[in-house]
Amino acid sequence: MHAPTGSLWVESLEQGPVDGLALLSTVGPGCYRLRVHARGRGTLPDKTSPEPVEDYLVMAWPAPWADADILRTSDRLEHDLAHAAGAPQPQPPAPARSKEQEKLRRRLLRG
């Protein structure tokens, strides 16, 4: 993120600047890396709530300009985990058998 004036703040799309949050561009004008963590994004995916259901942690630090944008999201992972309840669960490996148990098993399978 490039902050040419050194005024990098968190703002709401609907309400503008958020009061009580610290300035992200702590060393003034320049380039910064940002990391944003979100929690609770899947709490009410299809509903609305008068109270916030998501929490965010926003971190910023000075860093040199990079030509390539790096954007990684965990949305896909969160979706996969939320919908994995119906998926078959991996089974633990079968316990090791002794030679006697294996002989008995083979005999029983043969009839």
Q: Is residue 31 part of a domain?
A: yes
Number of Cβ within a 10 Å radius of residue 23:
13
What rounded mean pLDDT belongs to the chain?
78
Q: Is residue 98 part of a domain?
A: no
Domain count, the chain: 1
Q: Is residue 84 part of a domain?
A: no
What's the rounded mean pLDDT across residues 60-80? Answer: 73
Is the model's pLDDT at 8 over the cut of 80?
yes
- What pTM was estimated for this model as a whole? 0.56
Which DSSP string do the residues of 76-98 spell out, in sequence order? Answer: HHHHHHHTGGGSPPPPPPPPP--
Is the model's pLDDT at 75 over the cut of 80?
no
Q: Is residue 51 part of a domain?
A: yes
Q: Is residue 16 part of a domain?
A: yes
Q: Percent of the chain at pLDDT above 70? A: 68
Q: Diameter of the chain by CA atoms?
A: 84
pLDDT of 18-30, one tens digit each? 888 899 999 999 9
Q: Is residue 18 part of a domain?
A: yes
3-state secondary structure of 75: helix
Q: What pLDDT, on a 0 to 100 scale, did the predictor assign at position 6?
A: 92
Q: Is residue 57 part of a domain?
A: yes
Q: What pLDDT, on a 0 to 100 scale, did the predictor assign at position 101?
A: 73
Which range of residues forms the domain containing residue 27? Answer: 1-70
CA angle 104, 106, 110 (to 5 degrees): 115
Q: What pLDDT, on a 0 to 100 scale, did the predictor assign at position 102?
A: 75
Give the helix/strand (H/E) hosting 62: strand 55-62
Q: Is residue 83 part of a domain?
A: no
